[in-house]
Amino acid sequence: MTFHKTDGEAGCFKIFSEGVEKDERDGGNRSDHQFLWIGNEIELLKEIKDIRDELNTLRMLFLDQEKVLKDLRAIGISLSNEKDGLFNKPLSFVRSNIIDIEKMDSHAQSTYKAVCFPVPSSKRL
């Protein structure tokens, strides 16, 4: 699983950090502060927001499917003497997808926070 959009934040931060370090080495008198341009970060924030919206939509779909499968399992058990084994695989699949989506959203949220709240200059590596 790759996160191309969120990986872009790391690249932007690296360019910014290197620019700040160079500016500090040069005494802070650089006339070219191109590294301070935040247009890329703004675009990343928009794309990460879109990703999170799509993940939330998928999460809602799978949560709805999980509820339906649980209801069907309850109906099936009440109508027969069989155990709920018929619905174990579909429920497992749905739960697995919900967990995957939550992990992806957590990663996107971490990246979003990193773009919004960069490391202060006193804590830079």
Per-residue pLDDT, 36: 62
> Which comes out higher in pLDDT, residue 52 or 9?
52
Q: How many CB atoms lie within 10 A of CB 82?
A: 9
Per-residue pLDDT, 4: 55
pLDDT at 31 over 50: yes
Would you say 87 and 69 are in contact if contact means Cβ atoms under 8 Å apart?
A: yes
pLDDT at 122 over 60: no
pLDDT at 12 over 70: no
Would you say 123 and 17 are in contact if contact means Cβ atoms under 8 Å apart?
A: no
Rounded to the nearest 10 degrees, what angle do helices 4-25 and 88-116 cross at?
A: 20
Furthest-apart CA atoms within the chain: distance in Å: 81
pTM of the model: 0.55
